[in-house]
Amino acid sequence: MPRLGVNIDHVATLRNARGGSFPDPLAAAQTALDAGADGITLHLREDRRHIHDHDLARFCATLTAPINLEMAATAEMVAIATRYKPHAACIVPEHRREVTTEGGLDAAGQFATLRPIVAMLGGAGIRVSLFIDPDPAQLRAASELGAPVVELHTGAYALGRPDELRRLTEAASLTRELGLECHAGHGLTYGNVAAIAALPEVAELNIGHFLIGTAISSGLAAAVREMRALMQAARA
């Protein structure tokens, strides 16, 4: 049974829309863990569009469950990661204008940049993963870089691109050969998770946008009922 990491970024997106402290990403993380999530994933972006530095500090000080920090391969992020020492760090490509992490890291093309970063994070006791497309050349580069984990980008599969499930299946099988732990994530929903969760090599799935979106849709009815009840009680 693969572990489930819940990506909490979009609770912070909603909080930041009003600039206050509600909804609280830490409270949402605790709810996710109480409901059976195995860990919490958060992405501290260079532009801080959702998670902020103080979130990471609170998460690391409060949660006992594993925290997976998604981060760009920059000196700033390495300094932050080695300061807070989350359980895991997933290195992702980051482009300022993208709406989400579009495509995997070019582990092969950025080998020289990534090598010292993987070593520094690993040396700090952080379990390093590289977020890559299901491409054998990228998997081999990740292995040569000494990363113990890869997270396979399931975004193209989630968009229904033909052949992606085969690529993911073959990539997952190659992780076993290379001795890499295999994670997967991006764009996973109730409708498409089964084929990925069924891959025997997949040890962890990281899922965010769909879960937070579903929580909003399915929680709205209860929130409206409670507000109506409070309004009625005020007039009683």
Residue 89, token pair as written in the block? 């760090």
C-alpha closest to that of 151 among 115, 101, 189: 101
The stretch among 26-34, 52-60, 114-122, 205-213 that binds ligand PXP (CB under 6 A) is: 205-213
Active-site residue, 43 included:
yes
Tokens coding 23: 């909804």
Q: Which residues of 42-61 are buried (b: 16+ CB within 10 A; e: fewer)?
A: bbbbeeeebbbeebbeebee
Known catalytic membership, residue 70:
yes
For residue 149, the one-letter residue type is V
Catalytic residue among 10, 50, 70, 151: 70
Give the Å distances, CA to CA, from 69 to 63, 138, 215: 13, 21, 22
The candidate with the shortest Cα–Cα distance to 107, out of 70, 152, 76, is 152
Among 114, 171, 186, 204, binds ligand PXP (CB under 6 A): 186
Site string for ligand PXP, 139-168 (x = CB under 6 A): ------------x-----------------
Binding marks (x or -) toward ligand PXP, 13..52, rule CB under 6 A? ------------------------------x---------
Asked if 205 contacts 197 with a C-beta cutoff of 8 angstroms, the reply is yes
Nearer to ligand PXP among residue 157 and residue 210 (C-beta): 210
Q: What angle do CA 180, 181, 186 make, to 5 degrees?
A: 115
Residue 84, both tokens: 């807070």
Report the nearest approach of ligand PXP to the CB of residue 235 (Å). 42
Site map (CB under 6 A) of ligand PXP, residues 68-107, x = contact: --x-------------------x-x-------xx------
Q: Which residues bind ligand PXP (CB under 6 A)?
A: 7, 9, 43, 70, 90, 92, 100-101, 131, 151, 185-188, 206-210
Catalytic residues: 43, 70, 186
